[in-house]
């Protein structure tokens, strides 16, 4: 027993999650970690920048990277900025790549782009089929040719947390022996390693806008937090804006007599209060700026 303990070494490394839009990458990461680090919605373009977050147990440490979904055809200015980001992450020093596939959707140009990227990566790769709880429709046979190109194939349900333990075990088996990369004893402003408090709060607001607006508005909006301040009685004051590129969309976001913006603000405030265990006063407004995407990171 003492010899086994002496021989045991922790593992640590970077693991990128790649896939087409809405394959469940953010849901997978959130449910592995047991807390929200990446926003989710039924819309493409939800994740716009890579999100870094740490998972840790007695086996070691995994730095997950949730990448933006890769689009097949890119036309709008926002997608043009988002699309190269997953490929840029893969060029960095990642130790393993998870290719997350939604088996309920057939192969399209998006999948072919991802496969092309992955074939250039000389790192361990896991082929992970998501939504294993759904039996039909299913296009598993259209992806089986890929299995020989990956170190292992797994089936999971990110939403229902099925087989996530097997996925974590497969990752640790292939990570290098290493010291911890992140000192988790130090407090961090947000669960995401690479987001400051303003950016994280803005992401929560944007998620709620996407969820409430659904198909009523295209992806032409963003959120910006201008001020965070602690006030009396442990109330956190947040001043933020939802920015869209058209007055027509601004009216939709505000809604009849301000109904929609109140709903968005209320949902964001509730989630932030739960996350911070603090009362939140959210001062949320809407403005038009047709050039907001030019400042997209």
CATH number for 136: 3.40.50.300
Q: Is the pLDDT of residue 192 over 60?
A: yes
User: Which residues are known binding-site members?
Assistant: 19-26, 66-70, 130-133
- Asked if residue 191 belongs to a domain, the reply is no
Indicate if 246 and 282 belong to the same structural domain.
yes
Indicate if 230 and 270 belong to the same structural domain.
yes
Average the pLDDT over 270-280 and give the result: 89
Indicate if 71 and 142 belong to the same structural domain.
yes
List b or e across 244-269, with b for residues whose CB sees 16 or more CB atoms inside 10 angstroms.
bbeeebbebbbbeeeebbebbbebbb
Q: Is the pLDDT of residue 166 over 90?
A: yes
Q: Is the pLDDT of residue 66 over 70?
A: yes
Flag the least confident range among 41-45, 90-94, 116-120.
41-45
Indicate if 157 and 58 belong to the same structural domain.
yes
Residues 82-86: contacts with CB within 8 Å, 24+ apart? 82/45, 82/48, 82/49, 85/49, 85/50, 86/16, 86/18, 86/50, 86/114, 86/117
Note down the domain range covering 233: 197-295
Indicate if 47 and 170 belong to the same structural domain.
yes
pLDDT at 171: 97
Indicate if 208 and 150 belong to the same structural domain.
no
Indicate if 288 and 219 belong to the same structural domain.
yes
Q: Is the pLDDT of residue 126 over 80?
A: yes
pLDDT at 71: 47
In which region does residue 198 sit, left (phi positive, over 0), alpha (psi from -120 to 50) or beta (all else)?
A: alpha
Q: Which two tokens stand for residue 57?
A: 């147990």
Indicate if 123 and 254 belong to the same structural domain.
no
Spatial separation of the C-alpha atoms in residues 37 and 240, rounded to whole Å: 20
- Asked if residue 179 belongs to a domain, the reply is no
Selection from 77-81, 221-225, 244-248, 263-267 with the highest mean pLDDT: 263-267
pLDDT at 1: 44
pLDDT at 72: 45
- Asked if residue 87 belongs to a domain, the reply is yes
User: Which residues are known binding-site members for GTP?
Assistant: 19-26, 66-70, 130-133
- Asked if residue 192 belongs to a domain, the reply is no
pLDDT at 185: 80
Proportion of the chain above pLDDT 70, given as a percent? 82
Indicate if 100 and 203 belong to the same structural domain.
no
Average the pLDDT over 68-90 and give the result: 55
Flag the least confident range among 47-51, 65-69, 109-113, 118-122.
47-51
Spatial separation of the C-alpha atoms in residues 178 and 168, rounded to whole Å: 17
Average the pLDDT over 137-146 and give the result: 92
- Asked if residue 184 belongs to a domain, the reply is no
Higher pLDDT, 186 or 229: 229
Q: How many domains does the chain have?
A: 2
Indicate if 114 and 27 belong to the same structural domain.
yes
Q: What is the pTM of this model?
A: 0.79
Give residue-wise pLDDT tens across range 11-64: 999 999 998 888 888 899 999 998 888 767 665 555 567 788 899 999 999 999
- Report residue 133's pLDDT band, with 50, 70 and 90 as the boundaries: very high
- Asked if residue 158 belongs to a domain, the reply is yes
Indicate if 281 and 154 belong to the same structural domain.
no
Indicate if 138 and 229 belong to the same structural domain.
no
Spatial separation of the C-alpha atoms in residues 166 and 147, rounded to whole Å: 17
Average the pLDDT over 285-295 and give the result: 84
């Amino acid at each position: 027993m003492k010899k086994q303990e002496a021989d045991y070494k922790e593992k640590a490394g970077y693991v990128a999650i790649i896939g087409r839009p809405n394959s469940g990458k953010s849901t997978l990461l959130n449910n592995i970690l047991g807390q929200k680090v990446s926003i989710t919605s039924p819309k493409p373009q939800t994740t716009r920048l890579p999100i870094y977050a740490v998972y840790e147990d007695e086996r070691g440490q995994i730095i997950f990277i949730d990448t933006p979904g890769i689009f097949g055809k890119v036309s709008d200015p926002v997608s043009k900025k988002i699309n190269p980001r997953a490929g840029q992450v893969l060029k960095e020093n990642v130790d393993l790549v998870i290719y997350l596939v939604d088996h309920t959707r057939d192969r399209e140009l998006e999948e072919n782009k991802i496969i092309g990227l992955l074939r250039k990566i000389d790192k361990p790769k896991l082929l992970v089929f998501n939504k294993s709880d759904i039996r039909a429709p299913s296009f598993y046979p259209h992806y089986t040719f890929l299995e020989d190109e990956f170190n292992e194939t797994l089936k999971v349900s990110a939403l229902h947390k099925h087989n996530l333990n097997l996925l974590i075990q497969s990752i640790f088996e292939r990570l290098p022996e290493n010291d911890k990369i992140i000192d988790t004893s130090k407090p961090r402003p947000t669960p995401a390693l690479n987001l400051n408090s303003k950016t994280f709060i803005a992401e929560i607001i944007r998620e709620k806008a996407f969820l409430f607006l659904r198909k009523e508005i295209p992806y032409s909006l963003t959120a910006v937090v201008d001020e965070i301040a602690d006030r009396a009685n442990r109330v956190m004051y947040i001043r933020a804006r939802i920015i869209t590129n058209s007055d027509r969309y601004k009216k939709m976001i505000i809604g009849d007599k301000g109904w929609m913006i109140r709903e968005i603000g209320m949902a964001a405030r509730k989630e932030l209060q739960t996350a911070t265990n603090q009362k939140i006063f959210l001062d949320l407004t809407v403005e038009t700026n047709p050039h907001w995407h030019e400042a997209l990171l």
